[in-house]
Amino acid sequence: MRPTPSSASLTRVSVTRHRDWLSGTCAIVTSFALLASCSSSASDSEQSLPPPPTVATTAAPVPTASPTLPPTTVAVPTTTTTTTTTTRAPTVPPTSATTAAATVPPTAATVLELSATGVGLSSFQADPDQSIQYISSILGAPTSDSGWVDAATSPFGVCPGTSVRGVRWGDLLLLYGDLAAADGVRAFFGYSLGSTTRPATGKPGAVRTANGITLGSTVAAVRTAFPDASIVDGTPPTFDLGGSGVGGTISDISQTGVVTSIYGGTGCTS
C-alpha cells in the first residue's frame, strides 16, 4: 500500500513547480527582451547609416551647329568659238609627163586674170596637163583640144618648137609646146582671148585683165584703166597695156572702139 503524502510534501512540490514556472516565464521574458533589444539595435543601425553619396552628373555640352551659309553662285565665263571654214581648190595631181620649170599652185581663183605671167594661177612654163586641169576646174571642160600637132603647120599658125597643142574654152585659147626643141620639155607658153578671124562668143565671161579690161571694153575704158596704154592704128589696130606684156586688137582707135582680142606670152605667126 502506497503511503499518502503529507502536507509538507505537497507544499514542497507546489513550491518547486511554482519556481519552475517562474523560471520558464523569466526565460521567455528574457528571450523577448533580447529580441526587442536586437530589433532596436538593428533599427538604430539602419538609422545611423550615412546617406549614399550624391554623384554629380555633368551634362555634356550640346554642340552648337554652325550657321548654314547660302550657296555661292560662281559665274562661269562663256567662251565663243568661231570656226573659220577655208575652201580649197582642187589639187592638181602630178602626171607622168616631164615636169616643167614652173608648176600651177593648187589654189584656184573665181576670176581668171590675164597677165604678163600667165592666166590666173597658171603661169607660163607650167606643165600642160596641170595647166589644163587648173583652167578646167574654173571654166569647165574645154570646148576643143587640138592635141599635139606639128608646130610648123598648126591651125594656130607657125609656132615655136616642134610640136604645139591648142586648148580652147570658148574665146580663150591656151597654147602649149616645146619652145626649145633641144630639151623637148613641153609647157604653157601663150594665150589669146578672142580673135580677129573668129567671132567672139562672149564666153567665158570671168576672164579679164587687171582693172577689168575684157572683150568689148572700149578704148576709153582701156585708157582709163591703164593711163600708160599705147594705141596703135594699124591693120588691125592694136593696143599695149603700158609695156606690161599684155596687148591686143581693137576695132578702131576712137574712144568708142572696142577690144576684139587680148593676148600674152609667146604667140604663133600667121
Q: In sequence order, what DSSP letters do the residues of 29-65 get, joined into one string?
A: HHHHHHHHHHHHHHHHHHHHSPPPPPPP-PPPPPPPP
C-alpha separations of 16 from 3, 29, 55 in Å: 21, 20, 66
Q: Give pLDDT tens digits for 83-93.
A: 444 444 444 44
CATH of the domain at 122: 2.60.460.10
Contacts of residue 96, Cβ cutoff 8 Å, sequence gap at least 6? none
Q: Give pLDDT tens digits for 53-93.
A: 444 444 444 444 444 444 444 444 444 444 444 444 444 44
Count of structural domains within the chain? 1
Give the residue numbers spanning the domain of 215.
Answer: 112-265
- Indicate whether 192 belongs to any domain: yes
Predicted model pTM: 0.60
- Indicate whether 256 belongs to any domain: yes
Amino acid, single-letter form, for residue 155: P
Across the range 202-222, mean pLDDT stands at 91
Structure confidence at residue 19 (pLDDT): 56
- Indicate whether 155 belongs to any domain: yes
Q: Give pLDDT tens digits for 234-263.
A: 999 999 998 778 999 999 999 999 999 999
| Averaged pLDDT score across all residues of the chain | 73
Contacts of residue 174, Cβ cutoff 8 Å, sequence gap at least 6? 119, 122, 131, 132, 135, 166, 167, 168, 188, 190, 191
The winner for highest mean pLDDT among 13-17, 187-191, 202-206, 244-248 is 187-191
- Indicate whether 122 belongs to any domain: yes
Amino acid, single-letter form, for residue 12: R
- Indicate whether 96 belongs to any domain: no
Which three three-digit cell numbers place residue 267?
Answer: 604667140
